[in-house]
Amino acid sequence: MLKKLQDIDKKTKIKFSILLIFSVVIVAFILSNYDWILNKLNDAETIRQYVLSKGFLGFISFVVIQALHVLLVVIPGDIFNFTGGYVFGIPIGFGLSILGIMAGTMSAFFISKTLGAEFVSKLVHHDKLKKISDLVNSTKGSFGIMIICLLPFIPKDLLVYIAGLTPIKASRFFLIYGMSRIPGTLIWVSAGSQTQENNLQGLILTFVALACFIGVGALLQKRYGKSLLKS
């Protein structure tokens, strides 16, 4: 009994430490850049020029932001993918986006491994947690992960935390998850880049690709969604 209490207390301290670190970083960033945020945040081109002026630091900052959106779960990742394309263009924006997404994915996976089901249950309903855990750990796990990642408007980052509770090998999960995130990420990065360049033809083609992607996702959701994601 005493050991269980000590384990719970240790987990609580880890959770508090993680929350405290994130809070300090966010508050420090806001305070140090308050005037710029207040006056310039509505100007997309100003943001682009500001980030590019930081050189390598701008690259690192974007990767960190991408990683944080995975960890925080509630923030739609497509916004950041679009921003990456707008600021950096397609090749660099795509590369940085995937790098950040996978950095956040690895962090979330191992945070889940460390903190356990008690922590993850605060992020996702117990029934859905069990259903997706069973799916990931089944013989159809690889296929199921790919389907979930391709479904439109599904919070995919929760899948990472849930996968961390299962016996699935980290390398296998990261490979499947990373490959599954490529199509959607590339489309949104391209949309951002075409918007910045005012390339109407390219933007139309990108949104045609997006419509096709959503269409495929809708078909997959109709065919497999009920069995995979029914809560």
Segment-wise mean pLDDT, segments of 10 residues, the chain, 231 residues: 47 60 64 61 66 85 88 77 91 94 92 82 71 65 72 70 83 88 90 86 84 75 58 44
Q: Is residue 3 domain-resident?
A: no
| Cα(167)–Cα(138) distance, integer angstroms | 10
Q: Is residue 9 domain-resident?
A: no
Amino acid 130: pLDDT: 72
**Rg value, the chain, Cα:** 19
Amino acid 39: pLDDT: 60
- What lies within 8 Å, CB to CB, of 66 at 6+ separation is 77, 80, 84, 96, 97, 99, 100, 101, 103, 104
Domain containing 74: what range? 14-227
Q: Is residue 6 domain-resident?
A: no
Amino acid 100: pLDDT: 94
Closest by alpha carbon to 122, among 13, 6, 15? 15
Which residue has 């925080």 as its token pair? 72
Cα 223 from chain centroid (whole Å): 25
Amino acid 1: pLDDT: 43
- Domain count for the chain, please give it: 1
Cα 231 from chain centroid (whole Å): 21
CA quadruple 81, 83, 85, 86: dihedral, nearest 10:
160
Cα 113 from chain centroid (whole Å): 18
Contact 147, 228 (CB under 8 A): yes
Q: Is residue 7 domain-resident?
A: no
Q: Is residue 5 domain-resident?
A: no
Q: Is residue 68 domain-resident?
A: yes
Query: What are the helix (H) ranges across 54-199?
Result: 56-72, 77-88, 90-115, 117-120, 126-136, 141-150, 157-163, 170-196
Q: Is residue 2 domain-resident?
A: no
Cβ atoms within 10 Å of 184's Cβ, excluding its own: 20
- Indicate yes or no: pTM above 0.95: no
